[in-house]
Amino acid sequence: MKPAPRLPEHPPRLWKDAEPKKAYDVVVVGGGGHGLATAYHLAADHGITNVAVLEKGWLAGGNMARNTTIIRSNYLWDASAGIYEHALGLWETLEERLGTTVMFDQRGVLNLAHNLSDVREGKRRVNANQLNGIDAHWLTPAEVGKLAPVLDVSERPRHPVHGATFQPRAGIAKHDYVAWGYARAAYEMGVDLVSDCEVTGFTQAGGRVTSVSTTRGEISAGTVVLCAAGHSAVLAEELGVRLPVQSHPLQALVSELLEQVLDTVVMSNAVHVYVSQAHKGELVMGAGVDAHIGYGRRGSFHVVEEQMAAAVELFPIFARAHVLRTWAGIVDVTPDASPIVGPLAAAGDNVWINCGWGTGGFKATPGIGHVFADSVAHGRAHPLVEPYALERFTTGRLIDEHGAAAVAH
Amino acid sequence: MSRLPTGGSRIDRTRPLTVTVDGVELTAYAGDTLASAMLANDLDVVGAGIYTGRPRGLVGIGREEPNAWVQVLDHGGPGTGEPMVQATTQPAYDGLTVERLAGRGRLLPHTDETRYDVLHLHCEVAVVGGGEAGVAAARAAVAAGEGRVIVLDDAPTAPVVDGARCLPDTTVVGAHAHGRLVAVQRLDSADGGGARRLLQVQARRVVLATGSEERPMAFPGNDRPGVMLAGAAAAYVERYGVLPGRRAVVWTAHDGGHAAAAALAEAGVDVVAVLDVRDGDVVTGTDGGSDTGRVTAVHTTSGTVEVDLLAVSGAVTPETRLWTHAGGTTRWSDDVAGFVPDAPPQGGRFSWAGTERTAADTGGRAPAAWFCATDLTDEQAAGTYLDLHRDATLADVRHAVEAGLRSVEHVKRHTTIGTGADQGRCSGVLAAGVLAQLLGEPLGRVGATGARPPLVPVPFGLLAARNRGVLSDPVRVTPIHDRVAHAPMEDVGQWKRPYAFPSVDESLDEAVVRECRAVRTGVGMMDASTLGAIHLRGADVGVLLDMVYTNLFSTLAVGKVRYGVMCGPDGMVVDDGTTMRLSETDWLMSTTTGNAAAVLDTLEEWLLTEWPHLDVVCTSQTDHWSTVAIAGPLSRDVVAALAPDEDVSAEGFGFMTHREAVVAGMPARLARVSFSGELAFEVSVPAWYGAALWDAVAQAGAPHGITPYGTETMHVLRAEKAFPIVGQDTDGTVTPADLGLGWALSRKKTDYVGKRSHARPDAQRPDRRHLVGLAPVDGTSLIAEGSQLVAHGADLSATPVPMLGHVTSAYAAGVEGPFALALLDGGRDRIGEVLDAVDDLVGTPVRVTAPVSYDPEGARRDGA
Amino acid sequence: MLRIPCPHCGERDETEFHYGGEAGVDYPADPSALDDVAWAEYLFVRADPAGWFTERWCHVAACRQWFTIDRHTVSDEFRPVSEGVRA
């Protein structure tokens, strides 16, 4: 009966919840990873510290606490590669920046191919990645089997593994450590972190939003920054703007803690599996997005059952592992599976939005925090987020990441 | 041995058995759990702390057990072991072999071949729990004539309720919206094995009678073997006739602890003291033996007692997890010192039935909500375990609070309390209570962390059920499959299609070269039955087709065939294919193999939701027809032999026409369509004639050396003609104009699906990606599919290297040698340019060509 | 697993249905008359409320009919559709 290694300790001091003040230079709506990282960068990079982060529940308790923590940048299109690779670079130095451990573990990510079409698309993406300076390789089934010996790379599965793309610098991190690291660093620079503070409306005057109504009172805002993920559409509606986003349940699950069997992250779009074994030893798996919209943080169990069938098909030794816990988050999905980042001019001159990350927001956290704060501070979209303007839906210049590069996020 | 000579309501003393724990054989009886067998055999140490490695003993008797985790090596067959199960819920059976764990499971390197089944049950009333409240609810439902009533009970023996079906050994693991229950039924509790099945229960109404659970109190030294829940200790006596200790102290915060003490005493345990926090008695520490660490003495506020059992009971409170799964809320109740059901789940399908009696009901004393002493030193706090399974202590919670955390969810994540495989049954409320103390807030405000399904851990394989192997996704084959099954197959959606037909001494590539040459110079045959076929009938089919295809269809004459492109409302290509007009009112549409169902769905959606006034009925006929394509300059001779009554001359049977005919004695439809640019025919017969048709074509073609060909040859041939493959040369970002199909965008029609999007600024950009051809500059180099196109001579190390497009299709076996199709920025304006096609950072110089690389004037379609 | 009340077949499992999103979004009578903003609105923008929502489903595995129904997107309760909204 061999004891397991403990996880690293959290810092002795994290943050203290603030009582909201009457006014802030910047009010960030949404205390998830993106909101916290944006607030951190506003303070750290631009000296903007009169900032409140308003969170309707507990800090980083939404998708930040519910995602499967996969970090990678091997996206097809230049715009996507740009922002995600920027983020990955920042992940690599995040511990030094925040002064806390985030357990970023570059164990690599495999994206499996199960038919000739997958192989073509995988190679297309690898080539695009390499030319964008992103580490990526194509692996044969045998090479895949070496990296993930518990993955069945034989001809036995219904959809056998024909190969995979591999990004060695990709990996996982520990979401609480990340969120709390940002929260702590922002707090230490004077950012107010306000929990249990739900935004219920906005006051608009003179083409601006002048204040935010919350369950803890009215808060005046110089600039309003929306980072509310699955609740973005609801907030935008309050601002009189209809967004092309739909909020869907997305489920995930963990097994019991198990001795290490899987040293890399495995994703398969064709058979809907993405799995890693977290630091403590649990298998962490993402299931599919439910087809219908929903805010109940509750998905349909048949989605989990389908996920298990796919997992056992690829990983036969998982058949007797146990589902310990399932849960759902609310993901905001756009028509082209790419985010919307930029000014929300229709709501006011001083309103910025960052939403629509669907299932892929966690991995972008450091990158979007950096460039979104830069955009807000300078009053113009950072070049890396320019392609993500809301206007693309009008012009038709979409960044369609599910058409081609359709890799489960 | 601690087995009493008599007693034990669940065991059968006539059926002794042996279980093996870490190589030590234990004797037990049928009906024992592994835990009761361990206890009966005086196995004090049932596990170890996950981080501390400290020896741990049994605490509970059911799924609340935090310590007794074992790896089952083998349930009787390869792969049937389990990485981590609770000894308290694992039935003992003869031959059961396990190893104890330190809070972490171990997967066995075997494939589990067990077949798991699913049982679907539908009922008016489902009652979860076969205890007093559940039985009463079931009887009431039967008496009220509510219909079918099912009782699901996780005990090995179900209650008997006349008029209701009672399922024993059945644990409801999830209660979901709209009255759906997911349950696990153990099929083997008497005879061993791991056999289980999944139950999907759909109920109009669900009564949750899930009973109650006991929670401990925490104190320094509370992780020693010999510290147990009092109710569990008494239940080991009652159920299994096992004494959990010889000499005991019972410490309680409610009247139930006194009842447990009495039961232990009656069974022969020397209960030396019953301490009650309500009287100010608090356990302050323990001593343990030097071997297993089992408790030898208990220090209390009223002195020290030498014992081998410390039975603790903090409270007995409702088990509300399924209630909260379904969306019900809970509230803190001082009456029971626990969280109790509050607002029911929305939708009215779930109700709660409990028989909890408060002190007011029984005339007893109110329970105390007591969790842990507040004045412990740091050293004591570090030895006061709030979650034994996660090895987390009072000191850990203090650290979290000192770090600034206030939310119970944050503290749970900081300490990991309640995240273990025991679902935090012994620790969740304890930790919340301690947090409330530390924050000085009422527990009702601090709240409990949410419970999430499943109620207990469930094997992946059980949830996968029968959906393994070929049942995980159906395999579709055509009626011709037997004739071609020897060929290597390509998966196209669910279909299996022959990739090529290599002879024994041929490589796949060589076979493709040979097959291509046969079609270009002789004749080939291919099973084309997988293409989608949708029959359209009605007066308004032409109107529908004019909307869903970009080009004009309503003008198509009976007997003619037309190629069409379909776009989504966003203007991007979604499918293509030919549609033939069979009569004034009957049309037959063909779709790509992969999109058949989606196209049918789309057509029906338009018809039913936007254009219900149109007289059109759609019927999927993909499975109705077997189709063989006969292609090549000699195909006419083959068809003439097959259908001697038909005039198949170029004049008598024009390109893009079709007719009914008798082919090899079979009723057939003959069409002159070509996916290769060569003279070609398609013969379709009712599906069940497929194999006969294949044989007949092969026989009629034999004199001409007819050659079966597969998907790869089809792709080469079509690519030379630049016929795009939707999904390969398109990716959801490609318009018909991008593909060079601008001719198919009707300007006469006022509208078609996608037309407005084609007028958007981005669709009008001259530098959009166009489909072009590529040829290697040296004439011989292969171009790799998926290559990215960059400027010729670009420095590939100077990333990011601007990418101009990518290779969508590439083939070695073109008439002129290797060639490719690519999507290239402003491609039609670059014809003649040299670029590099980069694959794995190696560039191949390629010249941009017109997409059509073979017979651009179309001279061959009527035959050479 | 949602239990969806098909008006033709009765209450059935969600897995028998296709989701159709917001109801009442008509194909424009004359798309060419719309400017790019209005066309983009038709293509991409759908209501996404946390609360009652009138949506479309198609019972693909049975009657294959489309219908509209109100669902509460937080609790997943269904109720008959408000008057005057069609699929």
Contact between B534 and B838 under an 8 Å Cβ cutoff? The reply is no
**Rounded alpha-carbon distances, angstroms, from residue A313 to A51, A201, B523, B745:** 49, 48, 42, 45
C19 near A CB under 8 A: yes
Which of B178, B327, B751 lies nearest to residue C2, judging by beta carbons? B178
A158 and B83 within 8 Å at the Cβ level: the answer is: no
Given an 8 Å threshold on Cβ–Cβ distance, is C53 in contact with A394? no
Residue among B181, A302, A290 nearest C1 (CA): A302
Positive/negative CA dihedral, A76, A79, A80, A81? positive
| Crossing angle of helices A361-378 and A175-188, rounded to 10° | 20
Nearest residue in B to A316, CA atom: B111
- The answer to whether B452 contacts A327, with C-beta atoms less than 8 Å apart, is yes
Using CB atoms, pick whichever of C36, C44, C49 lies closest to residue A335.
Answer: C44
| Mean pLDDT value across residues A152-179 | 96
What average pLDDT does range B333-358 have in this prediction?
Answer: 91
In this predicted model, what pLDDT tens digit does every residue of A117-149 receive, in sequence order?
Answer: 999 999 999 999 999 999 999 999 999 999 999
pLDDT value of position A407: 31
Q: Is the pLDDT of residue C85 over 80?
A: no
Nearest-Cα distance to chain A for C12, in Å, is 14
Contacting residues of C for A242, CB less than 8 Å apart: 41, 45, 47
Average pLDDT over every residue of A199-213? 97
Find the mean pLDDT for residues B579-584: 98
**CB proximity C38 to A under 8 Å:** no
SS3 content of chain A, % helix, strand, coil (to 5): 30, 25, 40
> Which chains are adjacent to chain B, needing at least 3 Cβ pairs under 8 Å?
A, C
In contact, B150 and B140? CB cutoff 8 Å = no
Which residues does chain C have within 8 Å of residue A244's beta carbon, measured at their own beta carbons?
40, 44-46
Question: pLDDT band at B451, cuts 50/70/90?
Answer: confident
ipTM of the complex model: 0.96
The pLDDT value recorded for residue B361 is: 81
Per-residue pLDDT, averaged over B767-786, amounts to 96
Q: What's the gap in Å between the CA of A4 and the closest CA on chain B?
A: 5
Residue B80: per-residue pLDDT = 74
Mean pLDDT of C13-17: 96
- Count CB neighbours of B334 within 10 A: 14
* Partner-chain contact C40 A300, CB within 8 Å: no
Confidence of residue A409 (pLDDT cuts 50, 70, 90): very low
CB B140 within 8 A of CB B146: no
Residue C28: closest CA among chain B residues belongs to which residue?
A: B610
* Beta strands at A51-54 and A23-29: parallel, antiparallel or unpaired: parallel
The answer to whether A233 faces chain C, any CB pair under 8 Å, is: yes
A231, C18: Cβ pair inside 8 Å? no
Please tell me the predicted confidence (pLDDT) of residue C84: 54
**Is C3 close to B179, i.e. CB distance below 8 A?**
yes
| Interatomic CA distance for residues B847 and B716, integer angstroms | 19
Tokens 């007893």: give the residue: B364
CB atoms A59 and B458 under 8 Å:
no
pLDDT at B77 over 90: no
Query: What's the rounded mean pLDDT across residues A105-124?
Result: 95
CA distance A98 to A100: 5
Where do the domains of chain B lie, and which CATH numbers do they carry? 12-100 (3.10.20.440), 113-212+316-368 (3.50.50.60), 370-455 (1.10.10.1100), 481-529+625-717 (3.30.1360.120), 532-623 (3.30.70.1400), 765-859 (2.40.30.110)
A143 touches chain B (CB under 8 A): no
- Among B416, B464, B572, the residue with its CB nearest the CB of A312 is B464
Span A9-67, pLDDT tens digits = 999 999 999 999 999 999 999 999 999 999 999 999 999 999 999 999 999 999 999 99
What gap in Å lies between CA A147 and CA A149, rounded to an integer? 6
HEC string of B771-805 equals: EEEEEECCCCCCCCCCCEEEECCCCCCCCCCCCCE
Residue by residue, DSSP assigns A360-391 as -HHHHHHHHHHHHHHHHHHTS--TTTGGG-TT
Q: What is the DSSP letter of B180?
A: E
Mean of pLDDT values over B202-223: 97
Pairing of strands C66-72, C78-79: antiparallel
Q: Chain B neighbours among A 339-368 (CB < 8 Å)?
A: none
Q: Which amino acid is at A207?
A: G
List, for residues B471-520, the tens digit of each pLDDT value.
989 999 999 999 999 999 999 989 999 999 999 999 999 999 999 999 99
B602 to chain C, any CB pair closer than 8 A? The answer is no
- How high is the pLDDT of residue A408? 29
pLDDT tens digits, one per residue of A378-408:
999 999 999 999 999 999 999 988 754 333 2
- Residue A22 in contact with partner chain B when CB distance is under 8 A: no
Strands (E), A137-296: 137-139, 163-167, 171-172, 192-194, 199-205, 208-214, 217-226, 246-257, 265-268, 273-277, 282-289
Listed residue (B315, B344, B335) closest to B432, CA to CA:
B315
Average pLDDT along chain B: 95
| DSSP β-bridge partners for residue B608 | none
Provide φ and ψ at C73, rounded to 5°. Answer: -75, -5
* Cβ separation C73–A295 shorter than 8 A: yes
| Average pLDDT of the segment spanning B829-855 | 96
**Residues 6 or more apart from B573 whose CB is under 8 A from it?**
B565, B566, B567, B724, B726, B730, B734, B735, B736, B739
Neighbouring CB atoms inside 10 A of A7's CB total 16
Residue B864 has pLDDT above 80, yes or no: no
